[in-house]
Structure 1
Amino acid sequence: MDKQELINKLVEIRKEISNLKDTLEKTREEKEDIYQKRNSLREKVGGRIKEIKELKSKKDKDSLGLQEEFREKDVINKEIGILINNIKALNEKRRIIRNEKKIDKNPEVLKNIINKLEEKIETEVLSIEEEKRVMKRLNKLKSEYKEIKIIVDLNNEYNKMSEDIDFKKKKLNDLKNKIKDNMEKNSEYEGFMKISKDILETKNEISALNNQYFKYKSDILKNNLLLKEKLKELNNIKNNLDFIDKKMLEEKESKKQEIISQKKSVVEEKLKMGQKLSTEDLITFQASK
Structure 2
Amino acid sequence: AMNEAQALSSVNYRILRTISLNQQFYIIDIAYSDRNTVCLSVCADQKFYGSTVNIERNPFSIVLPTGSYINYVRSTIYYINDNIVNACSCTSSYLRINGLTLLQNKADVNLFQTHGIVVCKSGYILVCQWNRKFKDQSAGKVVKLQYMDDSGSRIVMEIESDKNQPLYICPTYIAENGNGDICVSDVRAVVVTDAGGMLRFRYQGNSRDFDPYGICCDSSCNIIVADMKNDKIHVIDKDGTFLHHVTYDGIKMPRAICIDENNNLYVGEWHTDTVKVIAR
> Is the structural similarity TM-score above 0.5?
no
Instruction: Give the TM-score taking structure 1 as reference length.
Output: 0.16
Rg larger in structure: 1
Instruction: Give the TM-score taking structure 2 as reference length.
Output: 0.16
Write 1 or 2 for the structure with the bigger share of strand.
Answer: 2
Write 1 or 2 for the structure with the bigger share of helix.
Answer: 1
Structure ranking higher on relative contact order (CA contacts 8 Å, 6+ apart): 1
